[in-house]
Amino acid sequence: MSPIDQIKDALAAEFPDVEIVVRKADDPKGMQFLNVFSDNLEIAVEWKPDRGFGLSAFRSDSHDLDGAYDAPDEWYKSPSAVFHRIGSLLIDEKTTRIASMCLGAIRRDLSISQEELSAALEITQATYSKQERRADMKVSTLRKAIEAMGGVLRIEARFSDSQDVRELTFQ
């Protein structure tokens, strides 16, 4: 039994209301695919014997082709890790897609006013307002704003069709 079949059987036992579709290459050592459909979510898993399991989850209300041809959002080595991640996504009805937001949207989402943030940054509200509207800014300026909101700025480099993700540092 292939790892994809193991995951399918475990999911069918744990989540009987989801639809599960498996597709396999003719070559037993080739890629295999598992798609899980729930009311609001589609989860796509690809298994490459030499790489592991790539996983992406999409909301059913998103555009049909959003992310369909992208590399997987997450990678896992073991079938049990993929099974648990799929279970978590189904229960929480979450996607693996990171929401893209501008600095102002993040601030508003956290219910922080420009006045509060500019005071924490020890700059005027007008200066902060200009920074927030910029299309391009220094990483150090962005880092200070994110930290003032209680976050941590991480910049990752992801390489297509690869498990390779590297966090960038600035020295």
pLDDT tens digits, 81-126: 999 999 999 998 888 877 778 899 999 999 999 999 999 999 999 9
DSSP 8-state assignment for residue 136:
S
Low-confidence ranges of the chain (pLDDT < 70): 60-69, 160-164, 171
CATH class of 103-168: mainly alpha
* Residue positions counted in the chain: 171
* C-alpha–C-alpha distance, residues 118 and 126, integer Å: 9
Domain boundaries, the chain: 3-92, 103-168
Q: What is the pLDDT of residue 53?
A: 93
What DSSP element (H or E) covers 135? none
